[in-house]
């Protein structure tokens, strides 16, 4: 078995192993297929690793965070004994280590030359992929080559149900069976009763006879082979793994057993071409080419790759969590990160996936209705953090980051209400780009209308100032909480109500039955709709015509001004530096808030307004250690004000978030929003793609060293190829 050929612009490589950084690399080397992902851990394990794999929708209850995605039973496990010595990078000598991910196909490989404590040298090669064509299949291939000895090689391939989520154990054993070549295991989550079945088949090829055994250890069946190898005769093999959960089939155990019964090993050469071909088609639709900047090229592909492996293709009842399926961070919960940051990639390149992601919000509408009701409002109020049901799952109290004996109240679940408008915005954007009237009629409209009811009902009339307001909220900038009239929230709420009214008109003409049904079910009476109009006209949306500035929230300009540049160098966020209360008293912001608004609703603001607000808010934003969601948006806005070099700095901050671990927390999982933002920064920032109701246009602003950008997007079902060079920008309809 030869390592595949590396292509530097498609490969992420690690040439040296350091246990200190292993968790970061595990995140980077996450592989998956939109149904499940595994972190890039070693097959044989390593002390200090964060060994985890996650499948969409498999949530179980936990204290404080309500629910979390469950770490799957471990199917990667391969323990190898070389002439009686356990192969482990924790001992002996690592003479050579090389690991690489080929993003074209999601193939992860590792080549190791290892000298055992007794002085025997072995070359080991591992390769694995999770099939994009056959979502329930994972294949691991290995080669074991003794270089200076001959002896017995024992391979143990387990299915381990004894996994946990760091603090909590979620799996309960249900059933298993082990023969000498195959094993299966069925477990169930403790509280949510979701079954999962895993099957394994171990195949070994050797010059000498292979002795086999199956150890039927409860909750940890293991397949064992023993054979001889020598410098002339290395051995190779495959571990074939199947995974089905009760979410895809009513009887996962039978599904796995049927697959095992049909297995003809070796399988790799048979399964690989169709998997690779599926990836090829995926990249045909989604790739972005950047010439003149290899680091940026790789980073953009990495961002797209990470989103593609987390994107549900067969399931419209799940969405992508803030940390994708690549780590424990945020427990698999779904935020506005999905709709505002990740979704555009899918909307414009893989609309079928975008439809699934938006359908998740439709399926969880009841949870949003419960939240509104509980808060005393009509309509639907989406949770800030969402999981299986759409009920709010933001923890209310968590231990203080510096002093875990103290608890901090987390307010986002109570008052970060802009999420409902963000979802409506994403649906509208999807509709505009795809022309998918059916989705809008059957699902999108119900979401937009019921959340509009919430906005109208939540608006507070201020008789003194003769206006509607939204008080006591949190905007995108979470350094400031309990603020009144956050501009982002108010402008988006107004846009949302207007859009809802226009949508009602559209439904009346194009889907009168659905219109009648929704009007009746959601109680959209003439009085209610007149109230929406009133809120639209009298909602306070801050804007100073003298300066062109939009005050982020009422009283923001009175807060203490700080020059963040004076605080450099620093390696902590402004909130850690000043404390939670301290940061709240300043004008320092965690991420673009007004600029985010200008980005999302460009038709409302002219170039002078954009410039004035860019100049005001940029130096007050915590670009380095604030939110990872910020830099990509900041890059886009820098392009809009004609500063591509400045944009490039912000862009690379986003592009490096996980590959270079610039924030120091990549081990918790991929920053999914940042990854989506990286794609947006190239497409909507540097290439300057602008979308409006009437169509699209380009206004490029390339960094000076970029020679070319090329990508495709879909406009109303038609593929469009875009190519931008410093001299020209051209578009060709494919
Ligand atoms: C950011 C939010 C984001 C969340 C999850 C927070 O730190 O401020 O905007 O939704 O992380 O990524």
Per-residue model confidence as pLDDT tens digits over 186-217? 999 999 999 999 999 999 999 999 999 999 99
528 closest CA partner among 463, 455, 468, 461: 455
Q: Is the CB of 337 under 6 A from ligand 1?
A: yes
Q: Which atom of ligand 1 is nearest to the CA of 591?
A: 8
Residues 545 and 430 both lie in one domain: yes
Work out how many domains the chain is built from and give that number: 2
Residue whose Cα lies nearest atom 9 of ligand 1: it is 476
With beta carbons less than 8 A apart as the criterion, state whether 489 and 471 touch: no
Residues 312 and 393 both lie in one domain: yes
Residue 599, helix vs strand vs coil: helix
Does 231 reside within a domain?
yes
pLDDT at position 3: 52
Does 26 reside within a domain?
no
User: What backbone phi and psi angles, to 5 degrees, belong to 505?
Assistant: -60, -45
Does 700 reside within a domain?
yes
Region of residue 167 (left: phi > 0; alpha: psi -120 to 50; beta: else): alpha
Does 307 reside within a domain?
yes
pLDDT at 729 over 80: no
- Sequence-distant (6+) residues with CB within 8 A of 164 are 71, 170
Asked if the bond preceding 430 is cis, omega within 30° of 0, the reply is no
- Sequence-distant (6+) residues with CB within 8 A of 685 are 632, 635, 636, 638, 639, 640, 647, 651, 701
Per-residue model confidence as pLDDT tens digits over 399-415? 998 888 999 999 999 99
pLDDT-derived band at 728, boundaries 50, 70, 90: confident
Residues 388 and 367 both lie in one domain: yes
Q: Which of 232, 256, 283 delimits the end of a domain?
A: 283
**Domain residue limits at 661:** 293-733
Q: Is the CB of 673 under 6 A from ligand 1?
A: yes
With beta carbons less than 8 A apart as the criterion, state whether 342 and 673 touch: yes
Residues 632 and 681 both lie in one domain: yes
Per-residue model confidence as pLDDT tens digits over 646-681? 999 999 999 999 999 999 999 999 999 999 999 999
Burial of 648 (0-12, 13-18, 19+ CB in 10 A): buried
Q: Which atom of ligand 1 is nearest to the CA of 671?
A: 12
Catalytic pick among 77, 446, 478, 551:
478
Residue 616: CB atoms within 10 A of its CB come to 19
Average pLDDT over the chain, rounded to whole?
A: 97
User: What backbone phi and psi angles, to 5 degrees, belong to 613?
Assistant: -75, -35
Q: Which atom of ligand 1 is nearest to the CA of 673?
A: 12
pLDDT at position 402: 84
With beta carbons less than 8 A apart as the criterion, state whether 617 and 633 touch: no
Strands (E), 379-478: 397-399, 407-409, 460-462, 467-469
The whole-angstrom separation of Cα 152 and Cα 158 is: 19
Arithmetic mean of pLDDT, 615-637: 97
124 closest CA partner among 107, 111, 108: 111
pLDDT-derived band at 694, boundaries 50, 70, 90: confident
Residues 650 and 717 both lie in one domain: yes
Residues 391 and 337 both lie in one domain: yes
Distance from the CA of 418 to the center of ligand 1, in angstroms? 13
Residues 316 and 274 both lie in one domain: no
Per-residue model confidence as pLDDT tens digits over 454-487? 999 999 999 999 999 999 999 999 999 999 999 9
Distance from the CA of 621 to the center of ligand 1, in angstroms? 15
pLDDT at position 730: 65
pLDDT at position 731: 60
pTM of the predicted structure, to 2 decimals: 0.97
Per-residue model confidence as pLDDT tens digits over 139-156? 999 999 999 999 999 999
pLDDT at position 589: 98
User: What backbone phi and psi angles, to 5 degrees, belong to 475?
Assistant: -90, -170
pLDDT at 219 over 80: yes
For 457-506, the DSSP string reads: HH-EEETTTTEEE--SB--S-TTS-SBS--HHHHHHHHHHHHHHHHHHHH
pLDDT at 564 over 90: yes
The whole-angstrom separation of Cα 236 and Cα 142 is: 5
Arithmetic mean of pLDDT, 440-453: 98
pLDDT-derived band at 732, boundaries 50, 70, 90: low
CATH number at residue 611: 1.50.10.10
Residue 708: CB atoms within 10 A of its CB come to 14
Per-residue model confidence as pLDDT tens digits over 2-57? 556 789 999 999 999 999 999 999 999 999 999 999 999 999 999 999 999 999 99
Q: Is the CB of 477 under 6 A from ligand 1?
A: no
Nearest-Å Rg of the Cα atoms of the chain is 27
pLDDT at position 4: 60
Q: What is the Cβ-side half-sphere exposure of residue 565, based on CA atoms within 13 angstroms?
A: 3
Residues 344 and 277 both lie in one domain: no
Does 27 reside within a domain?
no
pLDDT at position 527: 98
Does 102 reside within a domain?
no
Does 247 reside within a domain?
yes
Residues 263 and 326 both lie in one domain: no
Residues 251 and 317 both lie in one domain: no
Does 93 reside within a domain?
no
Q: Which of 259, 283, 307 delimits the end of a domain?
A: 283
Q: Which helix (H) or strand (E) holds 509?
A: helix 487-510
Residue 712, helix vs strand vs coil: strand
CATH number at residue 244: 2.70.98.40
- Sequence-distant (6+) residues with CB within 8 A of 388 are 57, 59, 67, 192, 364
Please give the share of the chain, as a percent, with pLDDT higher than 90: 96
Q: Which of 265, 283, 301 delimits the end of a domain?
A: 283
Residue whose Cα lies nearest atom 5 of ligand 1: it is 322
Q: Which atom of ligand 1 is nearest to the CA of 478?
A: 8
Q: Which helix (H) or strand (E) holds 577?
A: helix 574-578
Residues 234 and 298 both lie in one domain: no
235 closest CA partner among 121, 152, 145: 145
Q: Is the CB of 336 under 6 A from ligand 1?
A: yes
- Is 478 in the active site? yes
Distance from the CA of 626 to the center of ligand 1, in angstroms? 10
Mutate to test the pocket of ligand 1, among 595, 673, 675 (most ligand atoms within 8 A of CB): 673
Residues 199 and 325 both lie in one domain: no
């Amino acid at each position: 078995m030869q390592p595949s050929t590396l292509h530097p612009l498609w490969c992420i490589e690690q040439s040296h192993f350091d246990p200190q950084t292993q968790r970061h690399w595990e995140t980077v080397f996450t592989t998956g297929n939109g149904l499940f992902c595994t972190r890039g851990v070693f097959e044989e394990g390593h002390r200090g690793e964060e060994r985890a794999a996650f499948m969409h929708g498999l949530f179980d209850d936990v204290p404080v965070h309500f629910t979390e995605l469950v770490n799957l039973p471990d199917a990667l496990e391969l323990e190898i004994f070389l002439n009686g010595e356990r192969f482990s990078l924790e001992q002996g000598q690592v003479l050579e280590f090389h690991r690489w991910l080929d993003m074209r196909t999601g193939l992860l490989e590792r080549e190791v030359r290892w000298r055992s404590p007794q002085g025997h040298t072995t070359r080991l090669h591992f390769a694995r992929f999770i099939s994009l064509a056959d979502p329930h299949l994972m294949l691991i291939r290995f080669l074991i080559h003794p270089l200076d000895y001959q002896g017995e090689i024992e391979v143990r391939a387990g299915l381990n149900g004894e996994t946990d989520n760091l603090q909590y154990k979620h799996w309960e054993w249900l059933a298993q069976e082990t023969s000498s070549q195959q094993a299966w295991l069925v477990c169930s989550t403790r509280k949510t009763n979701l079954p999962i079945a895993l099957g394994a088949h171990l195949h070994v090829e050797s010059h000498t006879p292979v002795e086999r055994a199956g150890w039927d250890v409860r909750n940890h069946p293991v397949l064992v082979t023993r054979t001889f190898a020598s410098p002339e005769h290395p051995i190779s093999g495959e571990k074939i793994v199947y995974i089905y959960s009760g979410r895809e089939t009513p009887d996962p155990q039978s599904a796995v057993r049927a697959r095992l019964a049909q297995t003809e090993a070796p399988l790799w050469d048979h399964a690989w071409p169709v998997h690779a071909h599926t990836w090829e088609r995926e990249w045909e639709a989604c790739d972005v080419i950047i010439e003149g900047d290899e680091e940026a090229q790789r980073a953009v592909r990495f961002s797209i790759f990470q989103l593609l492996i987390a994107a549900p293709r067969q399931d419209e009842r799940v969405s992508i969590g803030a940390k994708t399926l690549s780590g424990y961070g945020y427990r698999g919960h779904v935020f506005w990160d999905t709709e505002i940051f990740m979704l555009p990639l899918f909307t414009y390149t893989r609309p079928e996936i975008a439809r699934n992601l938006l359908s998740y919000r439709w399926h969880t509408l009841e949870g949003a209705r419960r939240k509104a009701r509980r808060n005393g409002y009509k309509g639907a109020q989406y949770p800030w953090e969402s999981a299986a049901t759409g009920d709010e799952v933001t923890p209310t109290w968590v231990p203080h980051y510096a002093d875990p004996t103290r608890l901090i109240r987390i307010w986002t679940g109570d008052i970060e209400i802009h999420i409902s408008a963000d979802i409506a915005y994403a649906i509208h954007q999807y509709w505009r780009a795809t022309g998918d009237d059916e989705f809008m009629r059957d699902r999108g409209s119900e979401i937009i209308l019921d959340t509009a009811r919430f906005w109208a009902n939540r608006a507070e009339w201020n008789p003194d100032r003769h206006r509607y307001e939204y008080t006591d909220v949190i905007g995108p900038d979470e350094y400031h909480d309990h603020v009144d009239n956050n501009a982002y929230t108010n402008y988006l709420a107004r846009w949302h109500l207007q859009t809802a009214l226009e949508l009602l008109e559209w439904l009346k003409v194009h889907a009168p039955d659905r219109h009648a049904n929704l009007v009746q079910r959601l109680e959209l009476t003439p009085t209610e709709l007149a109230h929406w109009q009133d809120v639209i006209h009298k909602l306070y949306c801050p804007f100073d015509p003298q300066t062109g500035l939009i005050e982020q929230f009422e009283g923001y300009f009175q807060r203490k001004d700080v020059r963040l540049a004076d605080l450099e160098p620093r390696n902590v966020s402004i909130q850690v530096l000043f404390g939670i209360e301290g940061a709240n008293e300043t004008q320092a912001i965690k991420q673009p808030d007004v600029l985010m608004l200008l980005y999302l609703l460009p038709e409302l603001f002219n170039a002078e307004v954009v410039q004035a607000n860019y100049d005001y808010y940029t130096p007050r934003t915590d670009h380095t250690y604030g939110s990872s969601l910020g830099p990509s948006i900041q890059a886009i806005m820098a392009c809009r004000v004609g500063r591509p070099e400045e944009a490039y700095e912000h862009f690379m901050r986003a592009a490096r978030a996980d590959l270079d671990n610039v924030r120091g927390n990549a081990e918790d999982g991929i920053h999914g929003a940042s990854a989506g933002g990286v794609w947006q920064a190239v497409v909507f920032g540097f290439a300057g793609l602008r979308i409006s109701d009437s169509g699209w246009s380009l206004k490029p602003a390339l960094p000076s060293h970029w020679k070319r950008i090329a990508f495709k997007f879909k406009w109303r079902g038609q593929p469009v190829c875009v190519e931008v060079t410093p001299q020209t920008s051209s578009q060709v309809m494919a």
